[in-house]
Amino acid sequence: QLQLVESGGGLVQPGGSLRLSCAASGFTLDYYAIGWFRQAPGKEREWVSCISRRGGKTNYADSVKGRFTISRDNAQNTTYLQMNSLKPEDTAIYFCAATRTVLSMCIRSGYDYWGQGTQVTVSS
């Protein structure tokens, strides 16, 4: 059974940092692009970042560019989202998602598998 499990969320003060993890089980990530998304209360889910299956391509939403870094360790079957300089508007549930790709692609939509999410709250 293909499964993604996020961890690393929590409460942090503005300006602080968190590192989210997304662990895959039931399949190997080598052939899958990974995306991170978030959904704030009362808002639609939005794309945050993506990384191609070998990590050669990454992309970020303008709202997080320069503050967030996506990475992956295929040997550990895990991807990460390092979040620095956090702002209250980053408060949301963060989800990781995976989709199998033929080419080395970083995509913003069309993901097939989703985790349950981890809560990130930025507040003083």
Question: Can you give the pLDDT at residue 98?
Answer: 96
* Distance between CA atoms of residues 82 and 17, nearest Å: 7
Encoded tokens for 38: 């978030």
Question: Can you give the pLDDT at residue 3?
Answer: 95
- The pLDDT tens digits for 5-63 are 999 999 999 999 999 999 999 988 889 999 999 999 999 999 999 999 999 999 999 99
SS3 content of the chain, % helix, strand, coil (to 5): 5, 50, 45
- The pLDDT tens digits for 54-105 are 999 999 999 999 999 999 999 999 999 999 999 999 999 999 999 998 888 8
